[in-house]
Chain A
Amino acid sequence: MNYLTKNQLAIIIFFLPLVFKMSMLPSLLYETSGADSYFAIGLITAIEFLQMWLVLYVVDKGGIAGIKELYGKAVAIAISLPFFLVMGLKSVLFVTEIYVYVGDYLFYNVSFMPLIVSLLIIVCYLASKGAKTIGRIFELSVWLIPIIILLGVLFGKVKLYPQYLTPLFDNGFGTVIKGIDKYIIYAFDFSPLLFFRVEKKKNVRVLIGSLACVIAVVSCYIVLIASYGRATFLITDAFAHLASFNVVISEIGSLDWPSAILWLTTSIGNVALKISAMSDILAEMKIKKNAGAFVLTLAIGLIIIFLTKGFDPILDFATGPVKYVVIGIEILAPIIILALYAVKKKEVRLEAAN
């Protein structure tokens, strides 16, 4: 259930850091960093892939399952719990972003409660099915990209104003750092992979997926800023706007359906991957995976409906001091796991020598 082929892994690596950077983040980041925002996002995405290599190295060593074998269940749970909190927080933020997209962009005049419930039912189902199913969905979704490109070539109307891409670093490097610092919660998103098994073969596709992701993210920001100039801060659904090419054809209306399907599928897949990993952690505490997925999605739903109540409060919380805890865990925990592997390896070597 929790096994990813190397093809699925490469596609997930392409989509995982991409999806939530291309929706509301471009407008938010533009408000903070202005024209520097496309450089800022390129930089942080490139750095993010350093974490990915660390995570994949840990996965190659055996991941969390390996720690359980070497140190026992208690240590595995103890090392997993920080990830549990991180993925939980990100899931709340991202589910909120999805329902805002559905409620603001896809449908008008709809109540948020049924949207949240519908979304979470799908997330719960996918999470209970595990990484293999989610990986397959990502694999199928990737075919929408050529369709979007084809529609864009056939019908697209894009008018770009490159002068809005400069000046870069007009206020020094400070605005880049400020933007990265404020929205760093949107980066370092690979920790769910620690809980899955991946096909152990040399995988050049992962490198291709990483590079394609950085190029896609930066291109999205460049095209968005060159299209909307100083009004970029108004565009809250960046990918939907760009991938629909702003085309209305009298007979079929707007061309946004492939982009809507792609973004929804991959964003739900992203959250489902986190819930799936979290329910694996719960499974170690004798809570069945299906039950765990249900409890987690229910908890997320309740938090969104009764506690956070909207995107702004959860964004304020996630971009507050808690983001440093989250990023600290995302970066340090894989290093600690590696250290645990190294310690055990040394012990084994010493035992063998004795």
Chain B
Amino acid sequence: MKRRIKWIIMLCAVAFFLFVGGKLPGEALGDRAMVVGFGIDVISDAAIKISAQILDPSSDENAGQKTQVVTAEDVTISGAMNKISEKAGHSVALTHCNVVFICQKLAFSKNFYSILNYLITNNYLSENAFLFAVDGKSEELLVAPTAFSSNASLYVQKLVGTYAVYNDIATVTLQEFVMKYHSLSGVNVLPLIKKETVEKEQSEQPQKDTQYVFTFNDVYVLKNNDFVGEYDRNAVLAVNYVNNDLNKGRVECDGDHNEKINLYLVDKKSKFDYDLDRKTAQLSIKAEAVLKEIVDYGDSDSFVDRTDLSEAEKKRTEDRIKDTVLTFYKEMQALDVDIYGLKDGFFSEYGKKASSLALADIELSVKVDLKVHEV
């Protein structure tokens, strides 16, 4: 009898939720403004402008994922987000947001961490969301028509999804950013997105539409809240050779007879060894690559038809990687910027004994071991 009563109550509960559940207070997914990317622009010393790229639920599925960019100004991110919710008529949801853009001016300002802190402590935004600086204003980037996707946010996500971590592509997630901000070095390498125009000829209309592709080969270097500088592809290469996530990319070298050789990186592991007495850090990079292409721009093509590298060519490639890493280290060392986090490494190994070690005194040596697979 008791069991029968339980079943009856259970059936009543199921029936209740089936027939009345829809009337209970709640917010359907379609009623929320799903943000797929958003940008932060500084408009004055104490005000910011937020641009949210919001999926348009009413758009035709066959026409791709259409989005609208809604902007609002406020002194805080959450304040601006509230205003965006009011404008959109839907509460803003960050659960599907994978990318955050910040304007150049914010990257240069000392309020950088203070403003981003909300995003870092906001549990609704994934810590794996990518963080990018924008050459100019982030709003301009978000509204820019992109050549290979319906909107900028999804285009960037697609690019970094495919190419991060590639050896000359820079990416950083919110988690990595906050972790490095609180590290002993306090150094962050922030990817910088630049726009490149492509012209699209439209058959039905005589005029040309300007569309954009993005490049990720430059970076801003920040030390705590200070802007250190803007650096090019060589800096990205250097950081990625040290970064252990990198296992794809391309490595170029000159052949014995001045051929141009392109290798594809298939694996890479790097490891630091520290010696406090000698104040030296030894970086060992073990890389594996596949020989992809040899082009000879000289008169002869007799050096092209081969599937392996000579020892001298291999050595030159190793030296190129080594020089890239060391050159950027020395450039940063001169600015007292611990770009590879050596102080954290020394501290991890030697504890407080290493706390008085100055970056200027640390000598970095690099050993590269390249294995080239024949194809």
Contacts and interface: CB of A to CB of B under 8 A. Distances in A.
Place the interface of chain B in its size category.
20 to 34
A202 interface: no
B96 A231 contact: no
Interface stretch (A83-91, A127-135, A138-146, A162-170): A162-170
The 3 A-B pairs with the shortest beta carbon distances in the complex, nearest first, are A167-B351, A170-B351, A163-B348
A105 B175 contact: no
A111 interface: no
Given A170-B352, A246-B127, A253 B95 contact: yes
A230 B124 CA distance: 22
A237 B98 CA distance: 21
Contact of A163 (B98, B157, B173, B344): B344
B126 A105 contact: no
B352 A248 contact: no
B97 to A, nearest CB: 7
A229 B129 CA distance: 18
11 contacts: A159-B176, A159-B245, A167-B348, A167-B351, A229-B344, A247-B126, A247-B128, A248-B126, A250-B96, A253-B96, A254-B126
B123 interface: yes
Contacts of A173: none
Given A159-B176, A166-B349, A248-B97, 11 more contacts: A159-B175, A167-B348, A171-B352, A227-B179, A229-B179, A230-B182, A231-B179, A234-B182, A240-B123, A248-B98, A254-B126
A309 interface: no
A229 B349 contact: no
A165 B344 CA distance: 11
Interface in B81-97: 95-97
Given A105-B123, A241-B127, A248-B96, A167 B179 contact: no
A108 interface: yes
Given A167-B348, A170-B352, A248-B98, A234 B126 contact: no
B350 A229 contact: no
A161 interface: yes
B183 interface: yes
Contacts of B124: 108
B126 A228 contact: no
A246 B126 contact: yes
A230 B96 contact: no
B178 A163 contact: no
B123 A104 contact: yes
A163 B345 contact: yes
A157 interface: yes
Contacts of B178: 228, 231, 234
Contacts of A108: 123-124
Interface in A231-290: 231, 234, 237, 240-241, 246-248, 250, 253-254
Nearest to B121: A234
A157 B128 contact: yes
Interface string B22-34: 0000000000000
Contact of B128 (A170, A231, A246): A246
Contacts of B347: 167
Interface string A71-85: 000000000000000
Contacts of A253: 95-96
Contacts of A234: 120-121, 178, 182
A163 B173 CA distance: 19
Nearest to A231: B182
A105 B127 CA distance: 13
B123 A237 contact: yes
Contact of B349 (A167, A237, A247): A167
